[in-house]
Amino acid sequence: MLAHTVHYALVVGGVLTLAVVLLPHALSRFGVAPAGPYDEHDRRVLELRDRVSTGTLLAPRATVPSVVTASPLPVRLPVRLPGVLQLAVLSSGAASAIHAGAGPGHLAEHLPFGLFFTLAALAQLSWAALAATWCTRRLLVAGVVGNVAIVALWLTTRLWGLPGGLMPEPEAIGAWDLACAGWELIVVVACLRLLRAAGPTGVRP
């Protein structure tokens, strides 16, 4: 019961985390954004938009005191993620949810298998959260290497089994593990595309 609770908590927590992280980006596509300027650059953008909408863009600009009223709480404008990076984040979260959901069954079957699925779910969920908030080239490389390794291990278990008596015979390919491998390959392709791109938005060196 405890194993089921932990793994389902991972699934629900992962979905909620991705929703919180990606909701501002989804809303911004429909023109919904938090009100009020967050910094000097945002204030100028809002002022330009207002002058364009009122037809006073070419009119002389009124002198405004350069006093910025301090906000009681610091608010950071969310970074707009590239579409490819959003796809990688969602795919990693989906793969994490599948690993978390399959964990209890493998834990009951063999402890090392259950631990592997738990660690894989945590790693993919953590990668998704980091990529959505502070993506770096090293993180993208880690996404490629980690997911390629998991897919290679999955192919090994489906074609030959595992040595040392862990899996003497190969397992049949199921719908869920095929879907999980597909999500992981999407993460790999998306990360490679971002690594090849010249200075993608939201990706740090």
Residue 198 lies in a domain: yes
Q: How many domains does the chain have?
A: 1
Out of 7-11, 30-34, 38-42, 80-84, give the one with best mean pLDDT.
Answer: 80-84
Lowest mean per-residue pLDDT among 39-53, 69-83, 139-153 = 69-83
From 6-10, 22-26, 68-72, the region with the lowest mean pLDDT: 68-72
Q: Which amino acid is at 103?
A: G
The encoded tokens of residue 152 equal 């290679």
64 within some domain: no
Closest CA to 12 of 85, 92, 96, 106: 96
The pLDDT value given to residue 97? 94
Residue 169 clears pLDDT 80, i.e. is over it: yes
Residue 155 pLDDT greater than 60, yes or no: yes
The more confidently predicted of residues 129 and 51 is: 129
Which stretches does DSSP call E strand in the chain?
135-136, 203-204
- How far is Cα 17 from Cα 11, in angstroms, rounded to an integer? 10
Q: Does residue 19 lie within any of the structural domains? A: yes
| 43 within domain boundaries | no
Residue 153 pLDDT > 70: yes
Which of the listed ranges 59-73, 78-92, 188-202 does the model predict with the highest average pLDDT?
Answer: 78-92
Q: Is residue 39 part of a domain?
A: no
CA gap 127, 134 in Å, rounded: 10
pLDDT digit string, tens, across residues 105-120: 877 778 888 899 999 9
Q: What does the pLDDT read at residue 13?
A: 57
pLDDT confidence of 166, banded at 50, 70, 90?
Answer: confident
Q: Decide if pLDDT at 71 tops 60.
A: no
For residue 10, give every residue at least 6 positions away whose Cβ sits within 8 Å of its Cβ, in sequence order, or none: 96, 97, 100, 103, 118, 121, 122, 125
Average pLDDT, the chain: 76
Decide if 14 is inside a domain.
yes
Whether the predicted pLDDT of 81 surpasses 70: yes
Tell me if 108 is assigned to some domain: yes
Cα 60 from Cα 73, distance rounded (Å)? 34
At 17-66, the pLDDT tens digits run 555 555 555 555 555 444 444 456 556 766 776 676 676 766 555 554 44
Structural domain for 168, as ranges: 2-27+80-204
In a domain, 179, yes or no: yes
Asked whether 103 and 3 are in contact (CB, 8 A), the reply is yes
Strands 203-204 and 135-136: parallel
The distance in angstroms from the start CA to the end CA of the chain is 44
Token readout for 124 is 């993919």
